Structures are given as structure tokens and as C-alpha cells.
Amino acid sequence: MSLQLGDTAPDFEQDSSEGRIKFHEYLGNSWGILFSHPADYTPVCTTELGVVARLKPEWDKRNVKPVGLSVDTGENHVGWAKDIQETQGQSVNFPILADHDHKVSRLYEMIHPNASTTATVRSVFIIDPAKKIRLILTYPMATGRNFDEILRVIDSLQLTDSDKLATPANWKDGDDVIIITSVSDEEAHKRYPAGFKTLKPYLRLVKQPKLPSAG
């Protein structure tokens, strides 16, 4: 049965570059990003891990814990981390699961046999503090991920969880947002006394409230 949005993220216990991890316990009350890599010592993955490590202040601001995954051993992860430091100018500051037995890869369906029977595709799962899966992305092995987009999605999720709003196409922090259709005009006027713009009865734009991560 495929994992779907709103499902509880499967719990697991697995070795990592930072020791044994019990996934749900490790996340605690934080959001989480679980993302897989085809293998250690691969060029695209090396750049991705450098980017994720460099974004630590942004993850921290949003109460997000990134967790990487590769199907190699913990010993390999240690050596690879040195290469990432050397080539990307950034030390790895989050755990990388050593999923050499494919336990987590199978649990999260990260191995797609028509792409590779052993290596994981570039899967991304965003998981909220209630351990619910809120986003699933799957990239091909040769295409590096855009982590700015992943940050943007987290901002949207956290904003829309805290208010009766939705974010339009290509939304970014500071753009107008959409009042969801279940909110009546009467309620909208109470919630947004500064007013809103009605383009259609079902399409009402309002100035974006401050993001929860902005404090």
C-alpha cells in the first residue's frame, strides 16, 4: 500500500551517522524532512548534502529536523562527510541513515525497480509534528533537488495550518494569499479587518499574515 498525504509516517529504528535513531522519538515535536540519496560518494548527492547543511539556520527557524538516507554503511558516511566538507565548504550537521539493509527504503518505497533495483531514488517526505506526511516528492537520480522549494512548501504548510488560508501558484513569503472557500465573506471581514480583494466569489486575496517562523 503506497504512502499518501495524511498518513502517519512509518516509525523505524536504524543506524545513522549520528548513532542509532528511533525516528518518531528523534523528531519529537519538530517537523521533519526525510530524504534519500542513491548512494554515498556520488556527485549530485554531495552538492545536496552541502546545501542542506548550509541551510541549518533556516531549518532551525522553522523547527525542522532534516534526516538523510543512503543505502551505504555508517563507515562510508564518515568518509563521505569529509569529502562534503572539502568540496562544499560545509560540514554535515544532521544525521544520514545507514540503510544498508534497505529497511527504511522499503518502508518508504524509496527503491523504484525500473530505475534501479538497489539504489534509492531522490525521495522527499515532509512530516509534521503530529507525524503526518504532508508532502511527497520523487526526483530522478540524476536531478538535484531544489531545497528552496522545500523551504517554501514548509512555509506554506505552517502558514495555512495556523490560519484559514491557501497559497497561490508560485507563492513566496510576502505575496498575497487566498482565503479558503469555507470562510464566508462575513467571517473574512472579521478575520481580516484591513480588507481583502474579491476576484471571484471563490477567489479572494488578502495580505499575507506574518509567517509563524518569523516569531
* Catalytically annotated residues: 45
Q: How far apart are CA 135 and CA 125, in angstroms?
A: 6
Whole-number Cα distances in Å, 71 to 74, 104, 137: 9, 9, 19
Whether the CB-CB separation of 111 and 121 falls below 8 Å is answered with: yes
β-strand partners of 67: 34
- Per-residue DSSP letter, 69: E
Q: d(Cα 89, Cα 81) in Å, to the nearest integer?
A: 11
Distance between CA atoms of residues 71 and 41, nearest Å: 12
- SS3 at position 84: helix
Rounded CA-CA distance 112/29 in Å is: 31
Does residue 69 contact residue 96 with C-beta atoms inside 8 Å? yes
Q: Is 31 helix (H, G, I), strand (E, B) or coil?
A: strand
C-alpha cell at 114: 525500473
